[in-house]
Amino acid sequence: MDAPPHVLILPFPAQGHVKPMLTLAELLCHAGLHVTFINTDHNHHNLRRSSSAPRPHRLRFASIPGVHRPNITDLFFSVMDNFKPKFRDLVVSMGGPPPTCIIADGIMAVGAVEVGEERGIPVICFRTQSACSTWTYLHLTKLIEDGEIPFSGETMDLPITSIPGLENLFRRRDLPSICRIGDLQNPIFQFFVTQTSAMTRASALILHTFQNLEAAIIAKLGAIFPTIYPIGPLHALLKAQITDHPSPSDSGSLIPQDRSCLTWLDSQPSRSVVYVSFGSLAKLTRGQFLEFLYGLVNSGKPFLWVVRSDLVLEEDRVDETPEELMVATRERGCLVDWAPQEEVLAHWAVGGFLTHSGWNSTVESILAGVPMICWPQIADQQVNSRCASELWRIGVDMKDTCDRSTVEKMVRDLMEDKREEIMKSTAEISRMARDSVEKGGSSHSALEKLIEDIKSMKFGGHVSVSDK
Ligand code: UDX
């Protein structure tokens, strides 16, 4: 009997990447494939500490030492400098027959594709973001050629016209945050240019989106990637396919979740609460933290806020919070270090989400039918917030401002004044997301096709050495 297919899954070592890729790993194991999930030592330790959920017996973990850095910029440098030789050593040290394929994060593509090509292992890239942002990153070089980047900080509202299919959507401020770096030789900017270019050498592309949300841009991506699997929302696929999963919502969490906030939510009126979270990476100055808190308190709405221990910049963690804010927060607020976010968004008491527009948070909010106030900071978040507000009309975008009166107005708009209008599109897109993971739905079918293609090793791709 042939050995079952064995897939190496390689995420970029940060929360927003580990979670969807681990969810995919569990789904592949459920379908009978064997998976080795490659973590950094640091994330492996955190994953074990944060989730006690038993793992599928076909899922193994391997870790690469010495890549972790506490700060995201340093982590990019570390991946650039350390990752490829360590990954090659790991693949060699595994022994036995070579893996069937590598599913590599789109921003780990340089090392993954090169090692895959050297050793004759096909590589599928998984860009854990939207089709719109993937398409945008693929146009970085064209944006430079057309003189659209770099730009100065005073001209942020000028429209961007050189991304086909998105001509009338973005202003300069809506481009990925790296486009704000004035120096195009900056190593972080170059990191994204080279990773994105290497990604196009993969055999196929997986996207964490669903067909009906981004059909037009997925079609455009088809000109670059012969095979695309849009398989989002992955957490919903997991729940639909593994109905006896012991703990679906914390299985990819690198930080222990505090479930006490669910009890607090139980005591709040229906759809009254604003859930606030800025994901795993975003940082606030003390001033921004206070403006958000004033805005929330002044809106009069109850709020549940994820205040990570490192949310406020270290040098700013000094001042006392004004007494009036402490009193109001005790009355109608709940602060936690890290929440069971999927369950929070699905809770009947939650009516809106003040978010940094991380892609996982966006997809989770879409599925739950919760409209968003978007305050993006880094990476693809600027793109996501623009799409949420102007393309899908499921939120309001307050990027680049966070004074207390704007926060208060945005909360009132979302929870009262503009709610009816926003809820129409939010409910419609949520329904499409839920349909996509049902049997016969687009994401369900795309996952089935991915599994079948891995089993039979058929990719439409153009570079996989084993195809030659
Ligand atoms: C970042 C970027 O924001 C994202 O767009 C990019 O694609 C990956 O890197 P992050 O800041 O972590 O990710 O945000 P997000 O993509 O939203 O992921 C956060 C994840 O953590 C979500 O799946 C969310 O459910 C989870 N989470 C968040 C919790 O489990 N508890 C919390 O309290 C907050």
Strand partners, 59: 35
Does residue 127 surpass a pLDDT of 50? yes
**Residues labelled as active-site residues:** 17, 105
Domain residues for the domain of 237 are: 6-252+438-456
* pLDDT per position as a tens digit, 176-208: 999 999 999 999 999 999 999 999 999 999 999
Spell out the residues 6+ positions from residue 242 whose beta carbon is closer than 8 angstroms to its own.
26, 27, 30, 248
Q: What is the C-alpha separation between 308 and 337, in angstroms, rounded?
A: 5
Residue 304 Cβ < 6 Å to ligand 1: no
- Residue with token string 């994204």: 192
**CA nearest 369: which of 307, 435, 308, 302?**
435
Number of domains in the chain: 2
Question: Is the domain of 211 the same as that of 326?
Answer: no
State the pLDDT confidence band at 1, using cuts at 50, 70 and 90: low
* One domain, residues 415 and 448: no
Strand pairing class (395-397; 372-374): parallel
Ligand 1 pocket member 379 (CB < 6 A)? yes
Statement to judge: residues 104 and 25 lie in one domain: yes
- Asked whether the predicted pLDDT for residue 215 surpasses 70, the reply is yes
Tens digit of each residue's pLDDT (9 = 90 or more) over 318-341: 667 889 989 999 999 999 999 999
Residue 463 has pLDDT above 50, yes or no: no
Do 143 and 287 have their domain in common?
Answer: no
Query: Is the CB of 14 inside a 6 Å radius of any atom of ligand 1?
Result: yes
pLDDT of res. 247:
80
In a domain, 463, yes or no: no
Q: 119 C-alpha vs ligand 1 centroid, how far in Å?
A: 33
Residue predicted with more confidence, 20 or 55: 20
Q: Based on the domain organization, do 239 and 316 belong to the same domain?
A: no
Asked if residue 75 has its Cβ within 6 Å of ligand 1, the reply is no
Q: What is residue 115's predicted lDDT score, i.e. its pLDDT?
A: 95
Question: Is 366 part of a structural domain of the chain?
Answer: yes
Residue 467, domain member (yes or no) = no
pTM confidence score? 0.96
Say yes or no: 266 and 235 in one domain: no
Residue 239 lies in a domain: yes
Could you tell me if residue 466 is inside a domain? Answer: no
Peptide bond connecting 11 to the previous residue in cis, omega within 30 degrees of 0: no
Residue 180 and residue 119 in one domain? yes
18 and 94 share a domain? yes
Considering the domain architecture, whether residues 295 and 444 belong to the same structural domain is answered as no
Instruction: Name the closest-CA residue to atom 2, ligand 1.
Output: 358
Q: Say if residue 73 is in the same domain as residue 161.
A: yes
Ligand 1 closest atom vs CA 280: 12
Q: What is the CATH number of the domain that holds 155?
A: 3.40.50.2000
Residue 468 lies in a domain: no
Residues 265 and 175 in one domain: no
Decide if 24 is inside a domain.
Answer: yes
> Looking at the predicted structure, is the pLDDT value of residue 416 above 70?
yes
Residue 229 is assigned to a structural domain of this protein: yes
As a whole number, mean pLDDT of residues 23-40 equals 96
Residues 209, 114 within the same domain: yes
Residue of 12, 15, 178 best suited for mutating to test ligand 1, as the one with most atoms within 8 Å of CB: 15
